[in-house]
Amino acid sequence: MASRHVALFPLPFQGHLSPMLQLADVLHGRGLAITILHTTFNAPDTAAHPEFAFVAVADGGMPDAKDGLGKILAMNDAMEASGCVRDALAALEPRPACLVSDSTLPAAQKAAAELGMPTVLLHTGSAAAVRLFRSYAMLHDKGYLPAQEHELDRPVRELPPIRVSDLFDPSKYPNRETANKVLDMTTDITNNSSGIVINTLDALETPELEAIRDELGASGVGVFAIGPLHKLSTIGGASSSLLEADRSCIEWLDAQAAGSVLYVSFGSVAPVRREDLDEVAWGLANSGRPFLWVVRRGLVVGSGSEDTELPEGFERVAEGRGKVVRWAPQQEVLAHRAVGGFWTHSGWNSTLEGICEGVPMLCRPFFGDQLANGRYVEEVWRTGALLVGKLERSMVEEAIARFMEGEDGAAMRERAKELQMKAMEALGNAGSTQLAVDKLVDHILSL
């Protein structure tokens, strides 16, 4: 008889951990028993999820690696060398039907394969990002990469609406070899899986999902678009958050006029240069509009986990109109009636959360998939605008005015509400997401 037990292994970063816990919750809701493997680095709050079993595995030097991609490689190398994932999986009773792994953990997939256990992957980014990261050979062959300065605006004809400036270019990354290895790794792991789960929905990315299904379906890899996971699951932001949210901002929002507040957050890992942070601060302060800004510890490049200092005099100018917190209950904030816009770094979770609350987005992507996400918001869904060019307080001020009060902003707001409806439809009975969950559960039980 098919095993009704599933093991899941998230990458230990906020933007990956939350959707994996949400997926675990969805599978649990369909009657599957759940074991979460996790590292001690950024371990989830196990007490918040008594319905799951948890098994810690060694994180082998991961915390010491210099940057995000370096940490991913260090984690994979350590897991492969120690055999700790294989041992943890082999000890699980009853034997899981499969391992659901983050798409950046090929070492976990190899460990499962050694035990003859299939893998299903969770891609925590968009379908467009899955396609993009599988296209690197083509992008090099056709000369889009390495990117040339004079070609940044060139459209990538094979992947509309992507432009050269939206591509993650390994040659610009400080450690090119690391970047190339991570890209290769994500392609191989997808090809070797029995199925992939993408945290997106059909109505958002129809052509992208079709292309992925055509490509992977031919080799028997199932594709399941079961997003937005944060709405499908009962796990709220607080129980999957690695940081404690400052809830005083909800009280502050309660006192603001409907649709008046710009919520500003650059996610959990994007680094901001000191000089840019100062321009953002003054742009917000001088905008004359209410704002709620997440200034997390370590936000400034090279500041480790230190508190982030704001420019002198900022508080005085912004007093009464601006609220700054170290970490916000983001999903609740976006759903608040006072929030009229979201200035985001365009991480995929934030993008989906903005879409689901019908909030228009001002996008300032930093790296990786964020660049493509911002492009889609501006050109495909047209529910927001990209903020491009050197950050200067006057341009920030003008962009905020156009976005929060101009005609363009109003049109984006309207389209954002329409897109929100589509997302809600996918979640309803017989919606595309619900049907995809049925198929995913059947797939797992057939393994």
What is the 8-class DSSP label of residue 151?
G
Number of alpha carbons in the 13 Å side-chain half-sphere of residue 405 = 10
Give me the least distance between CB of 105 and ligand UDX, in Å please.
14
Give me the least distance between CB of 246 and ligand UDX, in Å please.
8
Give me the least distance between CB of 329 and ligand UDX, in Å please.
6
Q: Burial of 230 by CB count in 10 Å (0-12 exposed, 13-18 middle, 19+ buried)?
A: buried
Task: Please report, as a single letter, which amino acid is at residue 71.
Answer: K
What is the 8-class DSSP label of residue 250?
H
Closest to ligand UDX by CB, 118 vs 228, is 228
Give me the least distance between CB of 165 and ligand UDX, in Å please.
16
Q: Which two tokens stand for residue 40?
A: 């001690």
Closest to ligand UDX by CB, 125 vs 322, is 125
Closest to ligand UDX by CB, 241 vs 256, is 241
| Whole-angstrom distance, CA of residue 375 vs CA of residue 161 | 7
Yes or no: say if 318 and 288 are a contact pair by the CB < 8 Å rule. no
Give me the least distance between CB of 326 and ligand UDX, in Å please.
8
| Whole-angstrom distance, CA of residue 108 vs CA of residue 391 | 41
SS3 4: coil
Task: Please report, as a single letter, which amino acid is at residue 151.
Answer: E
Closest to ligand UDX by CB, 96 vs 384, is 384
Give me the least distance between CB of 81 and ligand UDX, in Å please.
26
Closest to ligand UDX by CB, 92 vs 333, is 333
Give me the least distance between CB of 235 and ligand UDX, in Å please.
11
Yes or no: say if 204 and 198 are a contact pair by the CB < 8 Å rule. no
Angle (nearest 5°) at CA 153 between 137 and 169: 35
How would you write 300-321 as a 3-class SS string? ECCCCCCCCCCCCCHHHHHCCC
Owner of token pair 């109003």: 410
Give me the least distance between CB of 4 and ligand UDX, in Å please.
29
Closest to ligand UDX by CB, 211 vs 245, is 245
| Whole-angstrom distance, CA of residue 310 vs CA of residue 291 | 15
Closest to ligand UDX by CB, 237 vs 431, is 237
> What are the residues whose beta carbons fall under 8 Å from the beta carbon of 177, sequence distance 6 or more?
none
Closest to ligand UDX by CB, 18 vs 433, is 18
Q: Which residues bind ligand UDX (CB under 6 A)?
A: 14-16, 18, 124-125, 237, 241, 245, 265, 267-270, 294, 327-328, 330-331, 347-350, 353, 368-370
